[in-house]
Amino acid sequence: MAAVAAVALAVSLGRWQLDRAAQKEALAQSIQTQGSKAALAAGDILQATQRDTLVYRTVRLRGHWLPERTVYLDNRQMQGRVGFFVLTPLQLADSPAVVMVQRGWAPRNFEDRTALPTVHTPVAEVVLEGRMAPPPSKLYEPGPSSAGAIRQNLDLAQFQQETGLPLVQDLSVVQTGAASEGLLREWPEINLGVDKHYGYAAQWFALAALIVVLYAWFQLRPVLFVSKDSHVSRQPE
- pLDDT mean over 39-47: 90
Query: Which 3 state secondary structure label does DSSP give 65?
Result: strand
Q: Are residues 144 and 218 in the same domain?
A: no
Shared-domain flag, residues 169 and 199: no
Each residue's pLDDT tens digit, 186-227: 987 776 677 888 888 899 889 888 888 888 877 766 665 555
pTM beyond 0.85: the answer is: no
Per-residue pLDDT at 235? 53
Per the domain annotation, does 103 fall within a domain? Answer: yes
Q: What is the DSSP letter of 168?
A: P
Q: Which tens digits make up the pLDDT trace of 53-84?
A: 888 899 999 999 999 999 999 999 998 999 99
* Residue 212, pLDDT score: 85
Least confident of 13-17, 24-28, 106-110, 145-149: 24-28
pLDDT recorded at residue 167: 95
Dihedral sign for Cα 221, 222, 223, 226, please.
positive
In a domain, 216, yes or no: yes
Q: Looking at the chain, how many residues does it have?
A: 237
Domain total in the chain: 2
- The alpha carbons of the chain give a radius of gyration, in whole angstroms, of 28
Query: Do 61 and 166 belong to one domain?
Result: yes
**Residues 82 and 160 grouped into a single domain:** yes
Give me the percent of the chain exceeding a pLDDT of 90: 49
Q: How far is CA 47 from the centre of its chain?
A: 26
User: Is residue 35 situated within a structural domain?
Assistant: no
Tell me, yes or no, whether 130 and 161 share the same domain: yes
Residue ranges making up the domain that contains 204 = 2-21+194-233
In a domain, 153, yes or no: yes
* 184 domain-assigned: no
d(CA 41, CA 95): 12
Q: What is the DSSP string of 32-44?
A: HHHHHSPPB-HHH
Looking at the fold, whether 147 and 109 belong to one and the same domain comes out as yes
Q: What is the pLDDT of residue 59?
A: 94
User: Do 168 and 213 belong to one domain?
Assistant: no
Q: Are 101 and 17 in the same domain? A: no
pLDDT at 229 over 60: no
Q: Can you spell out the DSSP letters for 77-145?
A: EETTEEEEEEEEEEEETTSS-EEEEEEEEEE--SS-TTPPP-----SS-EEEEEEEEPSPP----SSSP
